Amino acid sequence: MQPVAELAGHAAELRGVFSDIDDTLTHGGVVELEAYAALVRARAAGLRVVLVTGRPGGWAEVLASVWPVDAAIAENGGVAFLRRHGRLERVYFEDGDPADDTRRLAAVADDILRTFPTARRADDGALRVTDVAFDVGEHQQVPAEVVAAMTTRMRALGARTLVSSVHAHAFFHGADKAQMSARVAGALWGEPAAEVAARYAFVGDSPNDQAAFAFFAHSIGVANVSRYAASLRPPPRYVTTAPYGRGFAEAIDVILRGRGPRA
């Protein structure tokens, strides 16, 4: 991973930033002041900003409504909320009624809770639409081998899985953060996927950002990504000096300085 300062030479090419939330904008579950201020600076400078999280659709609806962002993607790409034509628009990655997966997701959740005595549903479960999530790092620290066993069991039950710094997810949709990012950019700005990959940066910190690290040419890990760097294939192209939200702010400042003043 290169120091994020190396991104400055490409900053003028960038049209916007896609960013994870947990442990990228937050620290200890709280958005860091430096990170939110950086979002405001980015928007004021004309950068497009999209949040891309494993958090539930209910969170994304609120974030897209009141934060200085163009859209919020939730549930690792399963659902997104876009600001378009003066209104908030909900978009699912897959056609059909997401409620069709509700029974299957409930069965997966019941099995995991029975099989793993320490398993706990994520606190935000009531706001989820396309996945089910278990707390592995938010309010309890679950050993890596237990997380691996849980996700193996989920896949045996037919689900796809992703793990973030806080949650282990099971879902049946075919999305990931990269695919839904490309779709959202296409819907909002009419850009093809190749253009999105080349002209936008992505900032993240954990394994559920893997697809985005691979997709975006200018992928950035905040310093705490080092916890997972050895298992990421590929790791992010750049890494910040500071961790968490301060690392996000560092990345934004590199981009803004590299872009220079705009008319």
The pLDDT of residue 262: 66
Q: Do 78 and 175 form a contact (C-beta atoms < 8 A)?
A: yes
- Comparing CA positions, the residue from 86, 87, 82, 76 lying closest to residue 54 is 76
Does this model's pTM top 0.75? My answer is yes
The pLDDT of residue 85: 87
C-beta atoms surrounding 188 within 10 Å: 18
pLDDT by residue, tens only, the chain of 263 residues = 999 999 999 999 999 999 999 999 999 999 999 999 999 999 999 999 999 999 999 999 999 999 999 999 999 999 999 999 889 999 999 887 887 888 999 999 999 999 999 999 999 999 999 999 999 999 999 999 999 999 999 999 999 999 999 999 999 999 999 999 999 999 999 999 999 999 999 999 999 999 999 999 999 999 999 999 889 989 999 999 999 999 999 999 999 999 987 64
Per-residue model confidence as pLDDT tens digits over 202-231:
999 999 999 999 999 999 999 999 999 889
- CA 118, 103, 58: angle at the middle one, nearest 5? 75
Q: Do 161 and 151 form a contact (C-beta atoms < 8 A)?
A: yes
Q: Do 159 and 175 form a contact (C-beta atoms < 8 A)?
A: no
